[in-house]
């Protein structure tokens, strides 16, 4: 019988890294002293009417983090805290360098599900506020 961690790992390899983002992440990890010995972290920075605001940074592993290898890269590992996990499956991490600026960009094809009044839904409230699930 598979344990739940194995199932999460199988599911989570749906988070992918573009070739450009992979090269940039490896470069930053190897060449930036502040990022050495750290992992790539995908997180939710906030939420508005248009859905979640995602972020990517380099960070050390915390106790409640889930850690996954990218299918595309043997040199990088991804950290996601357990509360964020359900909301980022299927995401694509890309690197942009254009008029918007320079940095990682997260595209989540499931993003439409998290728009509007989703914050009021029981699952979101339970995940991020630690409240018990209620019927609303």
Q: What is the pLDDT of residues 59-86, one digit of tens each?
A: 999 988 988 887 766 788 899 988 888 7
Domain 4-129 adopts which CATH fold? Answer: Hypothetical Protein Aq_1857; Chain: A; (2.60.300)
Question: What b-and-e string marks burial along 67-96, b requiring 16 or more CB atoms within 10 Å of the CB?
Answer: ebebeebeebebbbeeebbebbbebebbbe
Q: What is the pLDDT of residue 46?
A: 77
State CA 131 to chain mean position distance.
Answer: 22
Q: What is the pLDDT of residue 11?
A: 41
Q: What is the pLDDT of residue 8?
A: 39
pTM of the model: 0.71
Q: What is the pLDDT of residues 94-112, one digit of tens each?
A: 999 988 789 998 888 776 6
Structure tokens at 93: 């991490």
Quick count: other Cβ atoms within 10 Å of Cβ 12? 21
Q: Where are the domains of the chain?
A: 4-129
Q: What is the pLDDT of residue 53?
A: 83
């Amino acid at each position: 019988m598979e344990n739940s961690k194995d199932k999460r790992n199988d599911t989570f390899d749906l988070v992918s890294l573009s070739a450009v983002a992979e090269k940039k992440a490896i470069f930053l990890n190897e060449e930036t002293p502040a990022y050495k010995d750290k992992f790539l972290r995908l997180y939710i920075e906030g939420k508005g009417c248009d859905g979640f605001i995602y972020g990517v940074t380099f960070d050390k592993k915390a106790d409640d983090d889930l850690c996954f290898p990218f299918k595309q890269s043997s040199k990088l590992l991804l950290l996601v805290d357990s509360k964020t996990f359900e909301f980022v499956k299927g995401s694509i991490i890309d690197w942009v360098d254009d008029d918007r600026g320079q940095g990682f960009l997260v595209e989540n094809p499931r993003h439409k599900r998290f728009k509007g009044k989703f914050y009021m839904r029981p699952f979101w409230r339970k995940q991020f506020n630690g409240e018990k699930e209620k019927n609303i």
